[in-house]
Amino acid sequence: MSMENLLTNGQITFEEWVKSMDNNSSYDKNKLLKIIADRKRAQQQINDMRLRGQEMLNEAERQQSIAGDISAITQSGYDKINEVMGNQEQEVAPALISSQEAQSRVGAPA
């Protein structure tokens, strides 16, 4: 069975077919090898972008978690102040910080 038939029948890959060519083939082996290299480079770039995207999502989730923690700790502190102050007529603590405000504080410089 010829190499072209193996390729057509899916028994070998395009890359295997090109690498098996003789240098005096009717096809330009160097051009085909360049196509293979370009495809590999493009696929690596796609993989790298996917990885960076996942890292960004993970960081966003981490920042959201921190913002939630800040909000909960702040509310707990306000509750403690009100408890210590004996819940006088006017509460000392303001309302719970909104999650948006807490999130904006996470990335703010100290």
Determine whether 102 is exposed, middle or buried from the number of CB atoms within 10 Å of its CB (0-12, 13-18, 19+).
buried
Alpha carbons 91 and 23: distance in angstroms, whole number: 87
Confidence band of 89 (pLDDT split at 50, 70, 90): very low
Average pLDDT, the chain: 84
Q: What is the pTM (predicted TM-score) of this model?
A: 0.55
- Non-local (6+) Cβ contacts of 107 within 8 A are 63
Q: Are 66 and 88 in contact (CB under 8 A)?
A: no
Average pLDDT over residues 72-92: 76
Parse the chain into domains and list their residue ranges. Answer: 3-106
